[in-house]
Amino acid sequence: MATPKKPSDGADTVWMDNDTQFPRLLAELRTAIEPDKGIFAEVAASMDLTTAEVHTLFIRAEKRWEEIKADMAAPVVGWDVQLCYVMDHEGWHSDDVTVQARTEEHAKEVAIDAAWGKVGTSSVVEIVVLHVSAEDEAAGDGINA
């Protein structure tokens, strides 16, 4: 299985991301040890699983790694995200932010993380995404995410 090397742009982020690297590692291990059925039996015994369950874990990891590679290949675009800040005793207010991300889900995560970093320990009890759209979509072409 051909897999991309550690990217130079954002390498620390991708390299340190366990949710990316663990499926990658398992997918590569499965490819490397597939011919040696004895290893699967040893791993199964060690984990109190059947060999079929171990195979299933490797297959799930490989599928997840393929999804991650597809996401990483997607272009980074600007996303307009409308957030709602729910305040402890003050009601709520909204804020529009623009973030760079590959997918709508990633845009939501980035916006919420940035918002929490911005408010710190204020009276904000929750931050919710009200709306997300790609920047060019928000500009008025009639298509919203």
8 pLDDT above the threshold of 90 = no
d(CA 124, CA 138) in angstroms, rounded, equals: 27
pLDDT classification of 32: cutoffs 50, 70, 90: confident
Q: What is the pTM of this model?
A: 0.50
Q: When comparing pLDDT for 3 and 111, which is higher?
A: 111
pLDDT classification of 18: cutoffs 50, 70, 90: confident
Q: When comparing pLDDT for 142 and 75, which is higher?
A: 75
pLDDT classification of 35: cutoffs 50, 70, 90: low
pLDDT in tens, 49-98: 998 998 899 899 899 888 888 877 878 888 888 888 887 777 777 788 88
Long-range contacts for 11-15 (Cβ within 8 Å, ≥24 apart)?
14/72
Burial of 80 (0-12, 13-18, 19+ CB in 10 A): buried
- Strands across the sheet containing 124-134: 92-101, 77-87, 124-134
pLDDT classification of 139: cutoffs 50, 70, 90: very low
Eight-class DSSP state of 12: H
State the average pLDDT over residues 102-116. 82
Pick the CATH number of 77-141 from 3.40.50.2000, 3.40.50.720, 3.40.50.1220, 3.10.20.10: 3.10.20.10
Residue showing tokens 């060019």: 136
Burial of 57 (0-12, 13-18, 19+ CB in 10 A): middle
Residue 142 backbone class (left: φ over 0; alpha: ψ -120 to 50; beta: rest): left
